[in-house]
Structure 1
Amino acid sequence: MSTNPGPSSAVPIVIKRRPESPAMGGPFADLHPLLTRLYRARGVCSDSDCDLSLGALHPFESFLDIEPAADLLAGCIRAGGSILVVGDYDADGATGSALAVRGLRLLGASGVAYLVPSRFTSGYGLGPAVVDTAASLGADLIVTVDNGISSLAGVRRAHELDIPVIITDHHLPGGELPRAAAIVNPNRPGDAFPSKSIAGVGVVFYLLAAVRARLRGLDWFRSGRPAPNLAQLLDLVALGTVADVVELDRNNRILVEQGLRRIRAGRCSPGVTALLRVAGCDPGTVTARDLGFAAGPRLNAAGRLTEMSLGVECLLTDDPDRAMAMARELDTLNRRRREIEGEMQDRAEEVLRDLVPDAAGLPPALCLFDADWHQGVIGILAARIRERYQRPVIAFAAAEDGILKGSARSIEGLHIRDLIAAADRCRPGLIERFGGHAMAAGLSLRIGALDAFREAIVAEAHRELGDAPPVRELISDGELPARDLGLDTAERLRSAGPWGKGFPEPLFDGRFEVLERRVVGERHLKLRLRPPGGDSIDAIGFGLGALPVSVGHQVRLAYRLAVNHYRGVSAPQLIVEHLE
């Protein structure tokens, strides 16, 4: 376990209140004034913007290439052909793979299989070796999920073997697109689909909808084979969307909300229910936060430490007992992942302390490498160090034949993939391959190129960020009156989501008197607090147990108001994000 003491940030933390939004748009009907204020601050300006029904989703027709992709799949289904789904080894790829397999079977496909390349032996995406495996399995058609936009060599190999490829992806393309039979990706040039932040699993959902429409037009669905309701698969879409930390624009919020409703009603795959239960979450009251911080990490653990096939099988089985057994395996892997992560973070802190004694003297971008680091955990490590030091971080682990695999995480306002691309242009030949998003990217380079790459990426980061010292800003929605620090408000906030990236969960700030203080779980700060003129309330600060807070102190908090369920009793509780 990590022994890093003290608060989670090594840079100054500033609580900054969100500016009041002008009352634009029409009035909200029957909406609490607090929610009205919170929604307006997040760009929701009318009742129509609050509509999270399936009918408000963007139509699939605006996806470039979705019609030829649907034609290919419909033809393969009608001919009884063999379809191979090639996924990715993260939660988005796993949920997308399970969604594709389940959805194609519901549409009448008789031969559907999946393959998730190994992080450790095959690498990311549709490589030539993966295509050779697909050929050996007798695939008539390959469908990628959450990958493929950079798989130039893999698609060329598929051409040689006369296997058509449909690419479904959401990552940013490079300068050249693969010559696939169809590319369904909202971020390819010329694509008009409005929700550019849709996750890979969401792209698959849209493709299934297009295939269903095509099959319906071909009179495929009859009395013995009714057209399926694809909405029954939205639990997988919700889990993958939240776990991939994409921006929750309105379209993504619809997908997540509709999936959450099905999970709460018990109308979801046994695997999703099992993942929530092993994490101690009640599926009947599940929130997007539960998907992101409980189910998602356990699903991801398979791809990080072993093979993601365990995670996909957990999502594919219809047997609740088998799903629970696999969820327990995933939970065990996640516990091991936490241990490895703690050891790696301790080592990273040692490296940084050796580099400079004061965090303010660190370079504007951090490139970290240790020969003993686990390749599957470097992404989490990069995220932890990024959060603590408020700098873009690229963590590297040794792969094979002198190659380093790197995982990058960025800060708000800095596009990490573009930063890596700029470093590549500045020092061509250093990077073997790279790809990703604005906030996360992956790359590989030769071990001998690490120092030169570090110099290039630091120079580019300095050009983008300048000399301003990093500060972590907590954006607060203001102060809650003491009368609103109750269970009704906490439950209202919980049900008002889904909250997530781009539509942040409400964070408040205020002053409190400390009535009780103790440390629980060795490192968590448990408090009993009283706001001015109000009743006492419980609070907990995860990882804040070392803070010097005493009974009688006046403290200022940045906090979330949550519902705490304990021994059948529900009560309001403050989740402390920062304490002064």
Structure 2
Amino acid sequence: MTISSTGSKLSYMVCVSQEWVIKGRVDPLVLPDLKFSPIFRSLMQVRGLKTSSDVLSFLSPNLGQLKDPRSMKNMQIACDRILRAIKTEEKIGIFTDYDVDGVCSAALIQRFLINIGLKPPEIFIPDRVSDGYGLNMRGIEDLKSKGVSLLITADCGVTAVKEVDYARSLGMDVIITDHHEVGDDIPNACCILNPKQSDCPFFGEDLCGAGVVFHLIVALRAALREQGLQNLPNLREELDLVAMATIADAVSLSGVNRVLVKEGLNILNTYSRVGLAALARVSGITRELLSRDIGYILGPRINAAGRLSDARKAFDLLITEDAVTAQNLAHELNELNRCRQVEEQQVLNEALCLLEESGSHLGNAIVVAGTNWHTGVIGIVASRIASLFSRPAIVISLLDGVGVGSGRSVPGVDLHAAVSQVSEYLNDFGGHKMAIGLNIDDSKILAFAGALDGVLAPREEYTKNFAVDLKISPLDITPVFLEELEMLAPFGEGNPEPVFLIPSMEVVGSKNYARGQCKLLLKHSNRVFHTLRCTIDQGAQKLARFVDVAFTPVKMRTNGYQYLYLAVKALSPAGHSQQPVLSDLEHRT
């Protein structure tokens, strides 16, 4: 479906009919040598952990499980070139992206170079609106004018064929560090560090940009040690930045990433980085930081700088060691995030109004375009529309006949691959499975949307089922079991929070809030459960008295006491296979 123009404010909900798919069953005989509850052991098997050693390794991620960074394709070439630049005192420049991953990547490199005794590198972060994503001529010229002879990209560059050629024509060597999909045309760089290269030993490790950069500085540290340098920085202390970027960029929290994020969260919770400590304070966080806090609270505030202002403010927050500067920057990012929320809601309302006014079939994907929508928020709006309608969504901002678009996918749909098949309609595009960016002429949007709809599988093929890990009884939710579940953290892409099903829960109460949100009071087996706020497409008043509920148990601390809540994911009338989908209130704020 494609719609363009502008509209007015609208609240819009959608009902999606699905069927339960229960991945496993509780088996008290599974993995009997492990001293965990039968439900937890059964959950481990559902997660693909078939042996006791697999389970113990997963539950105890540590830095010893990391691969040797020097085995990454082209790592030796990259290290040799950077070491030569260090020895000959060349000026190094960093070109990075304007999101959390990009600014964390740049901070990692700068801190490492300073901590080994070098001058700070030149940093260039593009403007989201005027420059757009990726390596560009303006940035290259800016760095060249400052005497840079070695340009290192972070979180971008793998498709920048013309730009790398231009940098080389100016006498600059280019090292690309990136994690985005590799195209058919490879830039003629000095070398490329990207685990998505099919012949890279790290292929399959879904590192973010900062994850690639971290492996680079670890390899550089090892090379410097081999040359006899002493008092080298402890890079474990930088893992808070890697964890921030990994979670915010929504890459898979499995394998190497699980180790990096687990260790990084430990560092984050020391609150030793002045800027992040200040940002947590102004965000109202005074407790232990969890992965969801990065995804929904800290990450959006860092991203807000690049969305609405200058990403350099976020970069400065990450590298400052001055408490007053950190506090001022944190307040500024907090205010930018508030403005971002207002702008986002306005664009979302207009987009949803267009969808309602069209009155047409939505199709396998949604493409919606409006005049002069703020390009800093269209990605978030695309994500919210994709979530609401359970299908990929692309939101396009039009100006002077040209559209800048951002797309977000849903589980089971490789949006990058689909767009690749219809790229003849586009001026440019890039991204990965779950997110893409594009540039398109206004006159081609309708044809592009139709072609995209044609290459995507029918939506019913990937939305007809709602998967839960296990069906359990309310009596299974014990303090011991909840403690076991905490061992699965950190949660995120590739390691989602477990979802359980309890059939025939009685709805004994509800409390309604604005925008269709509500809290439910559910009862079963003489136990009463409170839910977190959730959004029901038809309203709580239309629920059956008895419902089957899919949920994630959540422990929350209030006024010094710890309470159990159910984060409801989906429900249906008891005994029925179809149900409206619910979403717990975890928008990225």
Pair in the same fold by TM > 0.5: yes
- The 5-angstrom pairing of residues 491-506 of structure 1 reads 491-506=483-498
Q: Contact conserved, 1:89 with 1:119, CA < 8 A, in 2? A: yes
The residue aligned with 1:239 is 244
Residue number among 296, 300, 315 corresponding to 1:297 in the alignment: 300
1:83 aligns with 2:92: yes
1:381 aligns with 2:372: no
Distance 1:315 1:14 in 2: 45
The residue aligned with 2:124 is 115
1:454 aligns with 2:449: yes
Residue number among 53, 69, 76 corresponding to 1:60 in the alignment: 69
Distance 1:246 1:551 in 2: 36
Unaligned runs of 5+ in 2: 1-7, 573-589
1:248 aligns with 2:241: no
Cα pair distance change 1:274/1:404, threshold 3 Å: same
1:435 aligns with 2:430: yes
Residue number among 502, 512, 526 corresponding to 2:505 in the alignment: 512
SS in 1 for 2:93: strand
Cα pair distance change 1:81/1:26, threshold 3 Å: farther
The residue aligned with 1:477 is 469
Amino acid at match of 1:78: K
Q: Contact conserved, 1:398 with 1:405, CA < 8 A, in 2? A: yes
Residue number among 12, 19, 22 corresponding to 2:24 in the alignment: 19
476-485 or 167-176: bigger deviation: 476-485
1:347 aligns with 2:342: no
Please state how far the C-alpha of 1:500 moved relative to its aligned partner: 1.2
Residue number among 151, 157, 171 corresponding to 1:148 in the alignment: 157
The residue aligned with 2:213 is 204
- The 5-angstrom pairing of residues 182-201 of structure 1 reads 182-201=191-210
Distance 1:136 1:467 in 2: 51
Amino acid at match of 1:438: K
Amino acid at match of 1:365: A
Q: Contact conserved, 2:363 with 2:453, CA < 8 A, in 1? A: yes
1:531 aligns with 2:528: no
Please state how far the C-alpha of 1:185 moved relative to its aligned partner: 0.4
Distance 1:25 1:237 in 2: 36
Cα pair distance change 1:559/1:297, threshold 3 Å: same
Please state how far the C-alpha of 1:27 moved relative to its aligned partner: 6.5
Asked which structure has the greater RCO (Cα within 8 Å, sep 6+), the reply is 2
Cα pair distance change 1:502/1:526, threshold 3 Å: same
The residue aligned with 1:35 is 40
Cα pair distance change 1:261/1:86, threshold 3 Å: same
**TM-score when scaled to structure 2?**
0.89
Cα pair distance change 1:324/1:558, threshold 3 Å: farther
Distance 1:455 1:370 in 2: 18
Q: Contact conserved, 2:97 with 2:126, CA < 8 A, in 1? A: yes
Please state how far the C-alpha of 1:255 moved relative to its aligned partner: 0.6
Please state how far the C-alpha of 1:388 moved relative to its aligned partner: 1.5
Please state how far the C-alpha of 1:555 moved relative to its aligned partner: 3.0
Distance 1:491 1:110 in 2: 47
Cα pair distance change 1:18/1:279, threshold 3 Å: farther
The residue aligned with 1:397 is 397
Residue number among 257, 263, 270 corresponding to 1:258 in the alignment: 263
Please state how far the C-alpha of 1:373 moved relative to its aligned partner: 1.5
SS in 2 for 1:122: coil
The residue aligned with 1:322 is 325
337-346 or 488-497: bigger deviation: 488-497
Cα pair distance change 1:444/1:492, threshold 3 Å: same
Cα pair distance change 1:70/1:331, threshold 3 Å: same
Aligned residues: 560
Please state how far the C-alpha of 1:332 moved relative to its aligned partner: 1.6
Cα pair distance change 1:111/1:270, threshold 3 Å: closer
79-88 or 365-374: bigger deviation: 79-88
The residue aligned with 1:104 is 113
389-398 or 27-36: bigger deviation: 27-36
SS in 1 for 2:232: coil
Distance 1:521 1:455 in 2: 36
466-475 or 106-115: bigger deviation: 466-475
Residue number among 146, 154, 158 corresponding to 1:137 in the alignment: 146
Cα pair distance change 1:97/1:521, threshold 3 Å: farther
Q: Contact conserved, 2:516 with 2:539, CA < 8 A, in 1? A: no
Deviations 1:109-143 (A, max 9, x none): 32323211011112211112210011112213111
1:408 aligns with 2:412: no
Amino acid at match of 1:527: L
Distance 1:468 1:84 in 2: 48
Distance 1:329 1:544 in 2: 35
Distance 1:66 1:24 in 2: 46
Q: Contact conserved, 2:404 with 2:439, CA < 8 A, in 1? A: yes
Cα pair distance change 1:310/1:342, threshold 3 Å: same
The residue aligned with 1:213 is 222
Distance 1:377 1:458 in 2: 24
Residue number among 277, 281, 285 corresponding to 1:281 in the alignment: 285
Distance 1:5 1:509 in 2: 29
236-245 or 498-507: bigger deviation: 498-507
Q: Contact conserved, 1:431 with 1:443, CA < 8 A, in 2? A: yes
321-330 or 340-349: bigger deviation: 321-330
154-163 or 12-21: bigger deviation: 12-21
Distance 2:284 2:406 in 1: 30
The residue aligned with 1:365 is 365
Q: Contact conserved, 2:373 with 2:397, CA < 8 A, in 1? A: yes
Q: Contact conserved, 2:510 with 2:540, CA < 8 A, in 1? A: no
Residue number among 317, 334, 337 corresponding to 1:334 in the alignment: 337
Amino acid at match of 2:293: D
Cα pair distance change 1:489/1:319, threshold 3 Å: farther
SS in 2 for 1:370: strand
Q: Contact conserved, 1:517 with 1:550, CA < 8 A, in 2? A: no
Q: Contact conserved, 2:258 with 2:490, CA < 8 A, in 1? A: yes
Cα pair distance change 1:70/1:24, threshold 3 Å: farther
408-417 or 490-499: bigger deviation: 490-499
The residue aligned with 1:567 is 559
Amino acid at match of 1:541: R
Distance 2:430 2:448 in 1: 16
Distance 1:127 1:493 in 2: 46
Q: Contact conserved, 2:30 with 2:41, CA < 8 A, in 1? A: no
Distance 2:501 2:462 in 1: 22
Q: Contact conserved, 2:247 with 2:295, CA < 8 A, in 1? A: yes
Please state how far the C-alpha of 1:54 moved relative to its aligned partner: 0.2
Q: Contact conserved, 2:110 with 2:121, CA < 8 A, in 1? A: yes
**TM-score when scaled to structure 1?**
0.90
